[in-house]
Each structure stands twice: as structure tokens, then as C-alpha cells.
Amino acid sequence: MKSYELKAVIDKWQDLLTIISVDDMIAYMMRKELYDVCQWFERMTSRNKSKNRQIYKKEKILECFTGLELPNAFDLLIDALSTTNGPDSTPIIDSLLQRQCQLAPTNSTDLDRKALTINAFIPPLPNCYVTNFQAENHIIETLQDLKIKNLNGWIVLYGSQGIGKTALVNQFVRNQAMTGDYSSGVIWISLGQTKMNQTLTVMQQLLKRLNRQECVIPSTMTSLQMKISSLIENQPIRPFVVLDDVREANQLLYLNFNCDTIVTTRNANIASKLNREKCVIHIKELLTVEHCRNVMASTAKIPISTLPKAVDQFIEIVDHSALILTLFGILVQHDKDKWNISDNKWLNQYQSQYDTKTMLHKLIDMLLSNLNESDLNLILKLDIFEENTIIPINTLSMYWGVNQHYCISIMNSLVHRFLATESVVNTKNIGYSLNDYMADYIRSRHCVSDAKANHVTLLDLYKKSCQGDWVQLRNDDYIHDHLVDHVIGADDKKTMKELLTNFKWLQIRLKNKSSYALLHDFIKSRSILDFEEWNHLHDYWYLVRDSHSSINLCQDGSLIQLALSRPWWRDFYKEVESKAIEDCKETTFFKWNNCYNQRNEFQICIATLEPTSESITSSCFSSDGTMLACCDKIGNIIIYDTILWTPLYSFHSTKGKISNCSFSPDCQKIALSFHCGKTEVWNINNEKILIEHGYHTAKVNWSEFSPSGQEVVSCSDDRLIMIWNSNTGNNIVTCRGHKNMVIDCHYSKDGGRILSCSWDKTIQIWDTTFGTSLLVCAITEDWPIFCSFLDHDQHIMCGCEHRVYIWDSSTGDAIDKLTSTCRDRVSLYDVAANGKMAVRCLFGSNLVEVIDTSSGQTSIVTDDGHHDLITCAKISPNSKIIATTSKDTLLKLWLVQPFKENMEKADKKPMHLLDCSFIGNVPHIISGEYEQWEGQAIESFIGKDVRFVKETCKEDWKCVKCCSLSHNGNLLAVGFAFGKVKMLHHDNLEVDWSINNLQLHVNNLTFNSTDEIVNSINGDIVNKFISEDQICFYKFLESSNILLIGAARGEMQAYNIYENSKSIDSLSIPGKIIHHDLALDDAECAVILEDKDSKACIVWNCVSFKITHTVDRNTCISTCKFSTKCDKLAIGYDYGTFKIWETTSWTLLTSFDGHLGSIQTLYFSADDKIILTGGKCITWWDLTENKVMQQFPLQHYANVIKFNDSLHTVIIDDGEYLYVLSHITPIDRIGSFSLRRNLRRK
């Protein structure tokens, strides 16, 4: 072991001793054939007879590895620790790797060498392999050529299955000749038959390993690639990437990290898809006959010299497949008499050319031929388990219905035949995994119905074990991770919906695994759920997908609390609130007591994509909502999956600019309309054009499939509407009658009518059989741009540039509905499938508005989301997503929010919390918007009733600085800049008295216990401070009538409140004051100072004005708070930790981790048993049990937090939202908080 690696082990020695299992480590060394080391260990431990013999053994285990004279000794130790331990040991192993990187002589890097690989480490080498120095040298030479050219490139290794591609790369990355050039590490990603949704999960896990500080993990492939590439590019030495067993070229689209990459694949055509410097190597050319003979001889355990020449012919037949040669060698080893290697008769069976898969299946047949029928039947029942998935022995025992010893004997027979691999599940359990070719063989022996029956059998066994309640299902290291897979295999839709809508089950999955695994469960469920069934899971999916980093989701009830933080999901919110009421006896929950939003309700952007570098002209959703297509001005079409927002299909048309696109009802075709007058129908699956329609003589504005999918209707600037066959392109009916260009047309739901609108200012309904006009509605004062059927075809709608018109579709009678005028011109519309919502885009703008078709209310979708003009806006079939495209080449997806109940306040500016008092447990909230030169808008909330206090721009209401409500709620004091104070009666809002011309800035007003006003003043008295730096804080000491004034530059002065010009004392503090807290007994004040690159929390005495203690020095200190009894001081940090010190001896009592993001505020309960931390979320901590009680995520950062004595109500101002939170139900064990306390320290 190298010196710096040895130093790293010594530094982490005590931590490593806690996770070492002596027996498992000995077994690991035996498997690695380290017999000499094992014998030394036995000799050393046999001499020790002390009571601490177990610790002595663990220390000797570590000495075994540190004393190895092997270049990979450290890697062996890491591999041993990870193999013999569960996930709980991962932090210790990671800390060891981090320490090794710190001590390494190479340039320091943020990435952990070899800890970067998915599944933690490079996969182990196969039991039998032959070193191929020729191939390794070829790869090294290629990399050196790329280095000379200063390029990052691809090396593509292709060859048939089992030829040894993975083993070759595995040996290569362990070669010391290459590790020096890639000291940042190796990123190893095994793909195989991984689907795109699984690739997303793999990339999310990779990003989490590369950057452990990352809080928000992107949920789109494009964003993930950008983040990972950015991390890698910032490394002094870039890592080496291995993409093993690539099956599809589109996987490489998102795994291009701009560093040297080796790709192993069975498909030589994949290399042609790469656009970077590449070298393609056929492994067969590097795997010589001599190499293959070595493989055969080593597995058959016979001398290579005894192999006949006929073996060379066999090697050519099997295309140099090392896997086939290995299996055949095992066959010879098990039955040398039957398979006499020196006899040429065995070769006669393989004279004809077989493909690799057929040859593998024949060999497996022969390897299993000597097993009895009952054992073989049990093995064939393993078709429900995926390859390379570790199956614990207790799971196999339950599934097969036999004892564990019998299971072990069967699985060992497969291990000895190289058909399965033995693995360690945890320290007390072993498991087995089928090799991929064995799993493929078993599935080929069974039909689909047999596999479904086996899935059902396993589910029934587990369901019986938990008595039908999946929440009570015991985790056996397998079923929690794979339950959804077996539900899919059993085609059990009911169980799938029960699982993914059960908050308790979702919480269990989050505790045992990451949120990515849970998201993957949702993704997989799409394979058996139809559109309506998936919509039932939609809210649960987005709850986890878009907010999985908002709070600590491993906390009990966190998902329910997370859902309760979003009252705008109305139906879902009611469902969640009922679940919270059921569980509130065990867990604390908080809900919104008000749904009042202080700003326009912009929709939430859930994804931003850039499908093409050109301006996007059109987009559309498929009828089942699973796909979204977008087109650009040069003929590119990209189709996205609407769950992962990854591209499924991409093709190009040569007809130029696309004006519109639409899916067929079966989602297998797409119709494209062009400015040149053509319309094309494409097959989505094979990305090929089916037919072309060219009967229009001008731009085609719209085309759409009929409900049956057999016809297409199109309208054009040539004033014609044509219905034509979607399979042949032949015209069926032409509708004539419009006198100007036809802008839009749509089918009715029964397909019997067509609705169209034209710039001749008419909207018409046409018969689809004869093309005759059935109804004409005229528009006199506006230009139509959109039309649609509404309310099950009972009404028709026409969206114009300034107004929306609605008629009865049978009589043509106008309906007084949605006739509100839009001042600006509208350029486009779309209507939801249910007709309850519409969107419109203002002409020449990047804003999109949502319209409630029942009330006519509007809200804005995009604030500054797009940077250029909107070209298209579409609503998904379930009305939950709006897709907008723009000339800025971006495609944005917005999660639709329902309309606010208080719409008359929608246009008001954001209000900020000025003061809050709880009178009889009823919150009296004063909020306002400060505009220094335009006046002050102030609002008063009493409970849930809202009324205005004042809203004026008069001269005497300029520059409001503060507000304060008296304890009894009768008086409201308002302080102004330039020395004004006004006292209002809170009931009638009349001015009782006022003070003018104080020549002082009034920054804070506080009522004392008798409701007499006390004003904290700064201004002319401290002009010397204001002119040099900003005043940071001030505090009136009620015990001594002294006002403390602190300057940001670190100088404090005390003034007598009644003799404003008289200074009592001063204190100079080295540094800038960024925060302070005064103890409730007025004896001490804690101050956080910033000096250059460091911060410190100091404590000074308010009587002697002397610094008494420096509590902590840390660049990440953010806030501090004294406890209610003044015997503790809590300090918060930017990385989500807070620490508590005892204030007499100033010893550290405890430390807490887990707050999301920076801690901005701290509050103690009245009994000091609970502490509240605020920031990006607010967190309640139980100090007696040292755990988190609950977290509530916020939209921004908490600026002000207020609460009542019983904690039933909490008020938070985060800048744009005013939260009024309350308990679902009161909980006795929660302590109380108080807003005003005045305790004296004895």
C-alpha cells in the first residue's frame, strides 16, 4: 500500500474498526486467494487471549491489507469493506476515499477516485479471464494519440456477446499505466437493456455521487447532462468514463461528458452515431486464437498442450466468444468422459454456424442436463427475477417453498457452472444473482402466461406474510425495491394504484432508498396503467418529482406535510388533509390557515428544454398525454416523453417551415402542415413518411385527424377546407364557402361535423359527409384566430384578437359568456379537452394568460420565462400542464395552478409583514408595501377577514418605516422616516394623535406592557454613524431606559431614551455586525461579526459593556438566539446545522443537522424544549428527543416569523407569500411559544 493511502487508513482507523466484520473479511481474502495473509492472521490472533480479542482481530485485519505489497492494496480494502457491509457503512468508506484524495500527491480534485462509479466501484473481474496485453496496448496508444492532439474522444469496442469486452476494459482501468493519467477516477456506468427512464435514474445517482452538496437534482436528461459535464470540466484532471454494454445510440446522446470514453457494444453501427473523435476496435481482431485456447484450457482445468487442433475450428465457429469457450470448458470439466477434448466427435454437433444466443442456450441445456427434474423446475421459476439482481436466500426459500439449505445447494450448482453469482446481501444473509445469459435462457423457456402466474404467486406469498397490508411488509433486502416490478409482471393495476397513492408506503420507500428509486417506481407503473389511471397518480408523481429536495423526505409524515404546503392543489389538498387528520396523533402536521397569495399566481415551470437551435413554430400533445411534439421553422420534429421529458423520436422533413402538427388518436402517426401548402403524415415508430397531401395551393394553417383516425381535415389560406384519407392522401370532401383565408378547423367528438373560422369574420359548422355548411355565425368587430367545440359539442367558441365569443352549436344563438374584452391583441388560443380552461397569448409578447371559461377570470402563466415572442401554447389532455414554445428556441412546461378565490386582489403588489399580534389566539396581521416616494399601502388581517387600513400616496403618508399593534389590539402605531409617528384607532382607523418634526428616523416602535408607546430612534443623534455606515440594530432595554445603537462597522453606543443627545457609553468591536440577539433578561447580547473572510459569535455584557466570551469562529455562521431561560445560546450555520452552548461555562451541549439550506432565524419555545429554525423551510426540533418534529417548505426564504403562545398559529413572511399556518389538531406534547416575555436572571 502506498504511503499516502496508508496515512488515510491510519487517520480513519477507529471509524473503520466499527464496520469491520472479521469472518466476512476473512472469507473475502480467501476468495481473492490471499492465503499467505490469512495464515499470518491466524498465527497472530491465536496468540492473543485477552478480553478485547475481537477488537484485536479487527486491527489485525486492517494490518493484513496495509501490509500487502500490491499496487491495488488500497482498492482491495475498499472493495472488501463495501462487499462485506451494508449501505450504513457508505459514509465511513466515502470519508476514507475523500481522505485518500486529500493526501494523494496529484492535484487535489473534488471527485473521488473510483468512488465515482455507479454501484460504488468498478465491477469485479470474472472468475476466469485471460489478460490481453495486445488489446490494452492498443487502447493506451489510442488515448495517447488523442492526448497529443489535445482531444477528448471515444473508443468503441464492439464484438459478439461474451467475447470479453467488459473483462478487457475492466483489466484496462486497473492497469497502473493508465491510472496516472486519469487520477480523478473512473466513472463506470453499466447500461445493458436499460431504458431511457432508467438511464435518467442512473444519471441522477451519478450527479449525487459527483457533487454531494447538490440539493436540487434535475429531473430532465438535458439538465442532468449539463450539470455533470460542468462538474467534470471543472476538474484539473478529468476522469475516465466507461459506458458498458450500450444497446441504443440515443443513450449516448446524454452520456457525452466531453472526456475520454470507452464504449462497449454489440452493435458496430453505434460508432457512426458519435460526432466526436473516435476509434472503433473490433474485439475479435484483438482476441487471438491463442487467447481463446487459454480460456478453454483454464476453465476445463487441463494443460493447454493437450488441446487438439479441432479446438481452433470450434473457436472460429463461436466467433471467438470467451463466454461460450468458458461454458464449454466447464462442461468438459464436469464430464470429461462424455466430452473428451481429444476426440473430434463432439465437434460434429457444431459444424453448422450458430448465432451466439442459440449456442449459449445449447450449452446451458447441456450444463443443466445432469440436474434432476424437480431442481430444474425450481430454476425455471426464476424467470420473474431480473438478471444481476441479488436475490436473498430467504426470498428464494419462501418462493420455492423449500428450506434454505436446499436453496443454497441448487444455487451453488449454478454458481459452479458459471450461470449465477454468489453475493453478500448483508453480514447475516447471502444472495444469488443470475448472469444475464442465464436469465435470458430461463425466460426463453417460459411463455408470458407462465411468468405472470409466477409473479402472482410471489405477490400472494408476500401479501400473506403482511396480512394484506403492504405497509406492514417486512423488508427482506429485496421486496421493497422490487415490489413494483412484480406488480407489473402480475398486471395488477389495483395493487399498483394502492401502493403509489399510499403515503405510508411512499414514506417507507423514501426511508429505505432515495427519492430517485421512488420516482422510478412511478415511471415503471406507466407500462400497465392507461391514461385515466395514470392521471389518478399524477399529483403524487409531481409531489415527489418536483419537491424531492424541498424538505427531508425521510422524516415521518414528510410527504404529507409537503403536500400540505401546496393549498393550490385543491382536490389533492383535501385528500391529503384527511390523511393528516388520521395520522396527527403520531406526527405533527401544519396546514395553511389562509390561501391568500400576495402576488399574481404565476404557474410553476417544471421543465425547460431546447429541442432545436431554430425558432419553434408549433407543438401538440398526444391524445393520451404521454407525448409532446414540437416543430421548428426548418422542418425538424422532436417528440418528447411527458414524464421524463426526454426525446423519444426525432426526424426531419424537407418541406421547410412547419405551421402545425397533430397526433392521430392511436398516437402512432403525426400530421405536419407546411407553409408551402403540403401536409405529411409520418409513422412515429419508424420515423418514416407515410403519405403526402398536396392539394392546397397556399399555406396550410391547420390539420387534424378525425376521431377514427382514418381521415384528416386541413384548412388553408386558399379559403378551402379539405377532408382526405389519412392512409392514401386522396381527397374525400372539399368544403367551400369561406371568402377569406381559413385560420382554424376542428372535428366534433363524433366526427360528423367540422368547425372552422376565417378572416371573412365568420365561424361555420360543416357536414363531413357532403361538405355543406350547417351553421354560420358572424363576427362584426373582431378578427377570429381560433375556434373550438365546447361542452360535449353543445357550444362553439371563437377566440378573436380582443374578445371571446360563444354560441349554441345547434341554433347559433349567442351566449353571454366570456365576453370580457382584452385590451391588447391576442395572437393565439388553446382550449383544454374538458373545456373548463383556455390559454391565450398577447400579440408581440412573451406572456401567456390562463382563462377560467366558467368565470372569465385570468391569471398569468409565464412571467419572464421566455425571452422572445411566444409561438405556441398548448394544454395537456388532463389540463395539468401547459407547454409554451417561443422564438427563443425554448420549450417550457408549466404546472397549472387553479385560480385564486380572491381574484380582486390579483393585481396588487406584494405585501410584506410589518407586525403581528395574537389577541385571544386570533392573529391580527399588519402587512404593507413600502414605496419610499409613492406612499404606503397597508392591510390589516383579523383572522380570515381582510380589510384595508390605508392606501394613499399623499404627502403625509410617504416613507412608512414600521408598524406596531398594541397588546389589546385597540391601537395601531405607524412610524415614518423624517420624524413622524401616528397613532390610529384600530377599529375605525382614525388618527388619534401624531408626533411631527422630531427630526429623527423612527425605525422601530414597541408597546410596553401598559400599551404606552416606546420609540426606538436613530437619526441626527447618530449622524456620524449614518454618514459612514448603515445602522444595523438597536434595542431598548426596558430595565434601564437605555437605547443601544450598533453600527455596521462594529461600534456600539448607548443613549438615554429621555435625553436623546446624551451618550452613556460606547463599545468598539472589531468587524462588521451582521446579526445580534439580546437575552430576555437584558444582561447579555450575542453579536455575529464579519471580518474579512471570517465570522465570529461574541457575547458582551450589557451593563459593563465588556466582551465576555467568543463562542465560535466559523465562516458559515448566520444567526444566533438566546433561550427563554437565558441559560443557552443557539448558533445557526449556512449549511443547515445549529449548535447549542451553555451560557455559564460556554461548553458545547449538542449539535443538530438536517435543516434544508442556510438557517436564517432561530426561536426557542417557552419551556426551551423545542426550537424553530427558519430559512428555505421552517423546521421544528424536539430538543428532549434530539429529532426533527416537522418541516414546512417555503417558496423563498423566511424574512419574518411570528407565532402565538400555544404554537397553534405560525405567521411567516418570505417576501412574496404570507403564510398563516396552524396545526391540523392540537398535540399535547408540543411546547408553547411566546412572542413577548421579560424574564430576569437571578
Summarize pLDDT for 344-367 with one digit per residue, the tens: 566 666 555 566 677 788 888 888
Q: CA-to-CA distance for 1118 and 779, rounded, in angstroms?
A: 63
Lowest-pLDDT range of 161-175, 627-641, 987-1001: 987-1001
Instruction: Please work out, in degrees rounded to the nearest 5, the angle formed at the alpha carbon of residue 704 by the alpha carbons of 702 and 709.
Output: 165
CB atoms inside a 10 Å sphere around CB 921 = 11
Do 521 and 505 touch, CB atoms closer than 8 A?
Answer: no
Higher pLDDT, 494 or 358: 494
pLDDT for position 708: 92
R_g over Cα of the chain: 36
- The 3-state DSSP class for residue 380 equals helix
- Specify which of 378-392, 440-454, 518-532 reaches the highest per-range mean pLDDT: 378-392
- Specify which of 155-169, 271-285, 423-437, 877-891 reaches the highest per-range mean pLDDT: 877-891
Question: Any idea which residue has 429536495 for its cell?
Answer: 549
Reported confidence tier of residue 162, pLDDT bands at 50, 70, 90? confident
Reported confidence tier of residue 1061, pLDDT bands at 50, 70, 90? very low
pLDDT for position 1229: 40
Reported confidence tier of residue 47, pLDDT bands at 50, 70, 90? low
pLDDT for position 1069: 62
Statement: residue 809 has pLDDT above 70: yes
- Specify which of 18-22, 679-683, 1019-1023, 1164-1168 reaches the highest per-range mean pLDDT: 679-683
- Residue 1072, all three cell numbers: 462588521
Statement: residue 1064 has pLDDT above 60: no
pLDDT for position 731: 93
Average of per-residue pLDDT across 74-96: 75
pLDDT for position 743: 94
Statement: residue 1028 has pLDDT above 80: no
Reported confidence tier of residue 60, pLDDT bands at 50, 70, 90? confident
Reported confidence tier of residue 1003, pLDDT bands at 50, 70, 90? low
Lowest-pLDDT range of 176-180, 430-434, 667-671, 1215-1219: 176-180
Q: Domain ranges for the chain, please list them.
A: 1-105, 289-359, 385-571
Statement: residue 313 has pLDDT above 50: yes
- Residue 952, all three cell numbers: 394613499
Average of per-residue pLDDT across 870-877: 89
The secondary structure of 515-549, three-state, reads HHHHHHHHHHHCCCCCHHHHHHHHHHHHHHHHHCC
pLDDT tens-digit series, residues 377-415 = 899 899 899 877 889 999 999 999 999 999 999 999 898
Label residues 187-220 b or e (16+ Cβ within 10 Å = b): bbbbbeebbbbbbbbbbbbbbebbbeeeeebbbb
pLDDT for position 1048: 42
- Residue 293, all three cell numbers: 485456447
Statement: residue 932 has pLDDT above 90: no
Reported confidence tier of residue 1056, pLDDT bands at 50, 70, 90? very low
Reported confidence tier of residue 631, pLDDT bands at 50, 70, 90? very high
pLDDT for position 219: 62
β-pairing verdict for 700-705 and 1072-1078: unpaired
Statement: residue 900 has pLDDT above 80: no
Do 26 and 427 touch, CB atoms closer than 8 A?
Answer: no
pLDDT for position 1020: 30
Statement: residue 1016 has pLDDT above 80: no
Q: CA-to-CA distance for 625 and 165, rounded, in angstroms?
A: 41
β-pairing verdict for 647-652 and 658-663: unpaired
**Percentage of the chain with pLDDT > 90?**
17
Average of per-residue pLDDT across 87-97: 73
Statement: residue 1018 has pLDDT above 50: no
Reported confidence tier of residue 187, pLDDT bands at 50, 70, 90? confident
Reported confidence tier of residue 24, pLDDT bands at 50, 70, 90? confident
Statement: residue 120 has pLDDT above 60: no
Q: Which of 506, 475, 505, 487 is nearest to 87 (CA)?
A: 475
Q: CA-to-CA distance for 608 and 599, rounded, in angstroms?
A: 23
User: Of the CATH numbers 1.10.3470, 3.40.720, 3.40.50, 1.10.8, which one belongs to the domain with range 289-359?
Assistant: 1.10.8
What is the phi-psi region of residue 1065: left when phi exceeds 0, alpha when psi lies from -120 to 50, beta otherwise?
A: beta
- Specify which of 195-204, 469-478, 510-519 reaches the highest per-range mean pLDDT: 469-478
CA atoms within 13 A on the CB side of 610: 8
Average of per-residue pLDDT across 785-792: 88
pLDDT for position 978: 64
- Residue 921, all three cell numbers: 389566539
Reported confidence tier of residue 766, pLDDT bands at 50, 70, 90? very high
> What phi and psi values does residue 251 have, to the nearest 5 degrees?
-65, -35
Statement: residue 1046 has pLDDT above 60: no
pLDDT for position 1033: 37
pLDDT tens-digit series, residues 813-848 = 888 655 455 656 787 888 888 777 888 887 767 778
pTM reported for the whole predicted model:
0.69
Statement: residue 439 has pLDDT above 80: yes
CB atoms inside a 10 Å sphere around CB 39 = 10
Q: CA-to-CA distance for 1217 and 1192, rounded, in angstroms?
A: 14
- The per-residue DSSP string of 948-1017 comes to EEEEE--GGG--EEEEEE-TTSSEEEEEETTTEEEEEETTT--EEEEE----EEEEEEEE-TT--EEEEE
Average of per-residue pLDDT across 765-786: 90
Statement: residue 1111 has pLDDT above 80: yes
pLDDT for position 97: 76
259 to each of 183, 472, 778, how far by Cα in Å? 13, 47, 64
1139 to each of 279, 893, 1120, 1128, 1158, how far by Cα in Å? 56, 41, 9, 10, 14
Statement: residue 258 has pLDDT above 50: yes
Give 1238: exposed, middle or buried? Use CB within 10 Å, 0-12, 13-18, 19+. Answer: exposed
Q: CA-to-CA distance for 72 and 78, rounded, in angstroms?
A: 10
pLDDT tens-digit series, residues 123-140 = 767 666 666 677 777 787
pLDDT for position 588: 76
pLDDT for position 787: 92
Q: CA-to-CA distance for 725 and 714, rounded, in angstroms?
A: 11
pLDDT for position 773: 93
pLDDT, mean over the chain: 75
**Cα-Cα-Cα-Cα dihedral sign, residues 584, 589, 594, 595:** negative
Statement: residue 1040 has pLDDT above 60: no
Reported confidence tier of residue 707, pLDDT bands at 50, 70, 90? very high
What residues does 762 pair with on adjacent strands? 758, 778
How many Å from the N-terminal Cα to the C-terminal Cα in the chain? Answer: 62
Statement: residue 959 has pLDDT above 70: no
Average of per-residue pLDDT across 145-158: 78
Average of per-residue pLDDT across 220-239: 74
pLDDT for position 1232: 35
Q: CA-to-CA distance for 758 and 155, rounded, in angstroms?
A: 58
pLDDT for position 459: 94
pLDDT for position 716: 95
pLDDT tens-digit series, residues 495-516 = 999 999 988 888 888 877 767 7
Statement: residue 1007 has pLDDT above 70: no
Strand ranges for 66-191 from DSSP E: 154-158, 186-190
